[in-house]
Structure 1
Amino acid sequence: MRDDLDQIETAFLGTPLAGLPIGHGPSGTVLVTDVDPDRLQEVWRAAEALVPVIGRRPVLVTDDFDDALTIRSEPEQGPSASELRAFAEAAASSEPWLTYRHYSEDQQVDEDEIEFYARGTTGVDLTALVPDMVLPTPLPALERALYDRLLTDADLHTQVLGNVRLVTQTDYWYEPDSVLLMLLPTSDVRSSAYWVDFYGALTEEDRQRLGEVLAQWRHRWDARLVASWGTMLQFQVGRRPTPGDEAWAAAGQLKALAPDLELSQWEVAVALPAGDAWFVHNRP
């Protein structure tokens, strides 16, 4: 209804959202168009601060790949309260990390592969840290050993961090040509996955699992979904994991959800305590 749009526009006054075109979006959402790609963080933060006022979670989206993502003249019916409640309950009872598993978890590493995995993608050579490992060994065990030993070598850790910290900064984030702000008709983090367009969650059951991931990450790391570009998700993180078990566990979950993130788990674990932006990439 137009009254809803008027209330949102009123809430926008005095913020970077003031004056931007606004209208009804798909499935009960509201779309704000003409978002400046150079002001993504500023616009999202302003909308995030208004969640207690307007009762809608914000997520940045793009119509670069979806012509149907346009303002509608009339509101489009979204899920009923009971449907959304059932979605959230199913999400809460799901086990997302049984489904989201990185393919490398089952790999075995032989002697002739050690150098490849010990270099990761950064080019920093860690082969000197693995001379006493019994081979073949599962890749996760090798990577955890590399990470633990790396934490005790300040010089090598500094070299790796210098090459990987970009992935936890917004410099690494994708910026589409056309950006819209989608206001979801819920303030609940878990339920918000109902509307998230992500290649890693194409079915309703997958979106429910993603909803549980969003809820877990919000609770543990104050990770807030900023943008969904179809094959990419971008998060702002309020609590960084500490080096060691926390960073290792978070890195494993990030890699599981983002199989196309081209870093080894030990590299991601080094990066996470050094930045506040998480990037998820899952594409065909």
Structure 2
Amino acid sequence: MRNDLDQIEAAFVGTPLAGLPIGYGPSGTVLVADIDPNRLHEAWQAADALVPVIGRRPVMVTDDFGDELRIRPEPEPGPSEPELRAFAEAAESSEPWLAYRHHSEDDEVGEGEVEYYARGLASGDLTALVSDVALPTPRQALERALYDRLLADADLHARVLGRVRFVTQTDYWYTPDSVLLMLLPTSDVRSSGYWVDFYGALTREYQRMLAEVLAQWRHRWHARLVASWGTMLHFQVGRRPAPGDEAWTAAGQLKALAPNLDLSRWEVAVALPAGDAWFVHNRP
């Protein structure tokens, strides 16, 4: 097994990961310690570029909230190949968006409530844009009407975008005090969900659904998981959703997975085409 660590160390030469402490982590993983929190994205990018070489998918983790993430003197067995294959197959057949739904998904908007939903958390009151919508109406219909009318007004859309685009920039990401790089014993995106620690996936059933989300987002948006801080996930996105239906769908999925993301769905839809960093927040 030491050969595995030697191979990884050799692959790290000439990268920001060279010379960092490395050892065995939990459940078949490898941990790299002393990652500079201010350069965690750079370190992750270096590890991600090495997936074809070392066969391990990287994710940044933290030991700020417990001591279970520590380098071990001996390797700890991970899941068997049949177990991991069964996990990935169950993930692929799951329906994550039937389970991950924002708590306000089915809200109805009645008389006197439009301002509450049309006043963006970052972008101000846009009630006038939907003043003619017949009430009561489903919240999602109201927000989609507001979003469509924003798209039709270039100046107003630009002003709103200027206020909400922060949510898709790496500056908005949470940065722990202590960062480790966890190298998962798989190069497969769907299988990697087996090791992701996330408050929104506390049971094996939800872990499988989260794994399917990772696979779907990788396929559609080339979204790659950068970090998992327990209640937060960070993604680097390679293909931004286009304004309109794509951004609206992606915003709905992001809000469903991240109920504590403090923007309305229409605001997230405005922001997504303008940035490459997605932030998921799901906490008690």
TM-score range, shorter chain: over 0.9
TM-score normalized by the length of structure 1:
0.99
1:157 correspondence with 2:157? yes
What is residue 72 of structure 2 aligned with on the other side? 72
After superposition, where does 1:55-204 map in structure 2 within 5 Å?
A: 55-204=55-204
Report how far residue 31 of structure 1 moved. 0.1
| Aligned mates of 1:108, 1:34 — CA distance in 2 | 49
Cα pair 1:237 1:277 within 8 Å, conserved = yes
Paired letter, 1:276: D
Q: How many equivalent residue pairs?
A: 284
Please name the residue that 2:221 is paired with.
221
What secondary structure is seen at the aligned counterpart in 2 of 1:190? helix
Deviation of 1:276 after TM superposition, in Å, equals: 0.2
Please state how far the C-alpha of 1:124 moved relative to its aligned partner.
2.4
- Contact between 1:124 and 1:159, CA under 8 Å: does it hold in 2? no
Equivalent residue of 1:16, what SS?
coil
Residue aligned with 1:261, SS:
coil
Q: Is the 8 A contact 1:60 1:181 kept in 2?
A: yes
| Aligned alpha-carbon RMSD (Å) | 0.6
TM normalised by structure 2 equals 0.99
Matched residue, 1:210: 210
* Letter in structure 1 aligned against 2:283: R
Match of 1:40 in 2: 40
- CA–CA distance in structure 1, aligned partners of residues 147 and 154 of structure 2: 12
Residues 163-193 of structure 1 deviation map (CA, whole Å, 9 limit, x = unaligned): 1000000010000000000000000000000
SS in 1 for 2:280: strand
Question: Contact 2:25–2:71 at 8 Å: present in 1 too?
Answer: yes
Q: What is the distance in 1 between the residues matched to 2:163 and 2:248? A: 18
Secondary structure at the aligned position of 1:64 is classed as coil
Aligned to 2:246: 246
Q: C-alpha distance in 1, partners of 2:213/2:196?
A: 12
Could you say what secondary structure the match of 2:92 adopts? Answer: helix
Instruction: Give SS of 2:121's match.
Output: coil
1:154 deviation in Å?
1.2
Query: Which consecutive unaligned segments of at least 5 residues does structure 1 have?
Result: none
Match of 2:275 in 1: 275
Is this contact kept in 1: 2:60–2:182, CA < 8 A?
yes
Percent sequence identity over matched residues? 80
Structure 1 residue 126 displacement after superposition: 1.2
Tell me how far apart the structure 2 counterparts of residues 243 and 133 of structure 1 sit (CA, whole Å). 22
Measured after TM superposition, the shift of residue 93 of structure 1 is: 0.2
The CA deviation string for residues 44-89 of structure 1, in whole angstroms up to 9 with x for no partner, is: 0000000000000000000000211100000000000000000000
* 5+ residue gaps, structure 2: none
Give the deviation of 1:125 after TM superposition. 2.0
Alpha-carbon contact 2:123-2:164 (below 8 Å) kept: no
